[in-house]
Chains A and B, each alone.
Chain A
Amino acid sequence: MTSDALAGSSPPDSPGRRALAGLYRRGRLQLALLLAAPTGWFVVLYLGSLALLLVSAFWYLDPTTSSIVRSFTLQNFGTLLSDPVYRTIALRTVFIAALVTVTDMAIAFPMAWYLARAAAPRTRSVLFMLVLLPLWSSYLVRVYAWRVILSPGGLLDWLFGLVGLPNLSPGFSDVSMWIVFSYLWLPYMILPIYAGLERIPQSYFEASADLGARGWPTFRRIALPLALPALAAGSIFTFSLTLGDYITPQLVSNTQFIGNVIYASQGVSNNVPFAAAFAVVPVLIMAAYLLVARRLGAFDAL
């Protein structure tokens, strides 16, 4: 398509063209220029801010003057380690995040499989759109809708009543947290798994069937290992989004997550040092998680 524009024509010489040509020859310079913009931006703005935040975890808030004292101290971490409530909150958050991840994997896998391997092409586009659409309706409104569903005497209890069951709705609790978080991040798990499953050539399944395996063994030995990077990629989102959220716990539960404590701390006379110290917990967890996920190939399956 572009050959007509290029073949047989002699482009006019100009300083711009010569400069570009010179850049192309000097690969390293081109590279440096290419990288300068995004990394410059990135280092200065994001990583710098992050480093500043983590450094402030080692400062402390003087209660009498309520101003931040910029001298090195470990007292924030001391408080975190000594007071058992922070351990409880951290463990609760990590546990629910893990539970949500596993739940989403279980729900998303069949859906992604159907989309990737069983649906007709036109159906596939429609279903794909249906997976993405909820992401476009406001996160907050969806959480409030879950309040209507889950609150005692709400929609779920009404449904239970229809079938003759007592009011079993989880109300405002950790169980509700699990349900709502699993719901919110489900599309983020479906998409990478779908992409990963689609990549598996059909010939693999045929070969497996030829060799005598059918159904479950094929799934266990072919599909699952090949989809593992995709599962790891999706889990990055479900895990990290649950780990840091403070809005949903406030609306759907009466327990606190890591995010709530961080948010409350930074809102109390600007006790950013303490908030930063507690923020180190999810940062370290996610950094470790990312390293493991990268090892599993997640970064190529995102």
Chain B
Amino acid sequence: MGRWLLRIATAAGFLFLYIPIGVIALYAFNAQRVQAWPIAQYSTQWFTAALNNESVRESFALSIQVGLAATAVALILGTLAAFAVQRYRFFGRETVSFALVLPIALPGIVTGMALNSTINATGIGFTTWTIVIGHATFCIVVVYNNVIARLRRSSRTIEEASMDLGADTWQTFRHITFPIIRTALLAGGLLAFALSFDEIIVTTFTAGTQETLPIWIFSHLRQTNQRPIVNVVAVFLILLSAAPVYLASRLSGSTGVAGSRS
């Protein structure tokens, strides 16, 4: 009995997760621009409209660029921080984890407003890089948690053995350490990319006139002009990401949200 209850509860949960996705997919075929139930007319016109739309392609490209850059920054800095905290004892060690979690734990509007005030005050100017910086603040912790969990489970002795045998620090890293943390980096990087790709609140405050995909979507959800295209884009994103997400989940086994488990 218990097992069937469990299965029903799980199925209900997945149903809950996917009903709105189903609605989105349905409305990608809505002929009209107004979005109300029920759908009066069906059409596939928006699929071609979406493909031909230059601004959605540009914002998609920008989102990919920003995502890759933020993930790269997060991978480097997160790994460095993880090594430092895991391998050494020093004053303030506990606060590093706490401080790194802050950007993802504090509301996005706080991070956004803070960075916006700083950008305006220092006169840096709003560029793609300010967007990347904003995203990287909360992406770092995702990679950090992944790597540090992996490091906790591996011992240092193998590294020491490698160096005893004559390898220098770089060789040790490349041949010993890196393979150990590789899947942790993959899982963390993928989640960091996902977080960056769909981020709207912090981006609103750190972008100038640049439009990442979420910003494009938001500005087109206001008006009804190109709103049906938005549904098409969302469907496309799900389909596009299914394969990479599946691959990553097979490769990295189970991961925590911020990736501490690998």
Contact = CB atoms under 8 A, between A and B. Distances in A.
Contacts of B6: 110, 113-114, 118
B217 A302 contact: no
B107 A244 contact: yes
B17 A282 contact: no
Given A42-B99, A50-B110, A142 B21 contact: yes
Contact of A283 (B16, B106, B250, B257): B106
Given A7-B165, A134-B238, A191-B255, 6 more contacts: A38-B84, A130-B18, A141-B221, A148-B37, A240-B105, A262-B110
B197 A299 contact: no
Contacts of B109: 244, 246, 259, 262-263, 279
Interface residues of A, number: 113
A42 B169 CA distance: 26
Given A134-B17, A138-B233, A299 B101 contact: yes
A48 B51 CA distance: 43
A27 B88 contact: yes
Interface string B121-163: 1000000000001000100110001000100000000000011
A34 to B, nearest CB: 4
Given A6-B162, A138-B213, A183 B20 contact: yes
Nearest to B119: A49
Contacts of A77: none
B143 to A, nearest CB: 10
Nearest to B23: A145
Contacts of B99: 42, 47
Nearest to A188: B257
B40 to A, nearest CB: 13
27 contacts: A34-B80, A35-B96, A50-B106, A50-B110, A56-B117, A107-B16, A110-B6, A111-B9, A130-B18, A133-B238, A136-B238, A139-B198, A149-B23, A151-B37, A155-B37, A183-B17, A198-B261, A199-B261, A233-B257, A244-B108, A262-B113, A289-B105, A290-B101, A301-B256, A301-B260, A302-B259, A302-B260
Given A37-B80, A129-B245, A145 B238 contact: no
The number of chain B residues touching the other chain, given as a range, is: 35 or more
Contact of A136 (B23, B81, B133, B245): B245
A195 B108 contact: no
B186 to A, nearest CB: 14
A149 B20 contact: yes
Given A11-B166, A126-B246, A136-B245, A290 B105 contact: yes
Interface stretch (A17-25, A79-87, A200-208, A220-228): A17-25
B171 A110 contact: no
Interface in A124-179: 125-142, 144-149, 151, 153-155, 158
A183 B13 CA distance: 10
Contacts of B108: 244-245
Interface of B: 2-3, 6-7, 9-10, 13-14, 16-21, 23-24, 27, 35-38, 76-78, 80-81, 83-84, 87-88, 90, 96-111, 113-115, 117-118, 121, 133, 137, 140-141, 145, 149, 162-163, 165-171, 175-176, 179, 194, 197-198, 200-201, 213-214, 217-218, 221, 230-231, 233-235, 237-238, 241-242, 245-246, 249-250, 254-261
Given A137-B237, A154-B36, A195-B260, A142 B17 contact: no
Interface of A: 1-3, 5-7, 9-11, 16-17, 20-21, 23-24, 27, 31, 34-35, 37-39, 41-42, 45-50, 52-53, 56, 107-108, 110-111, 113-116, 118, 125-142, 144-149, 151, 153-155, 158, 183, 186-188, 191-192, 194-196, 198-199, 215, 230, 233-234, 236-237, 240-241, 243-247, 259, 262-263, 266, 272, 275-276, 279, 282-283, 286, 289-290, 294, 299-302
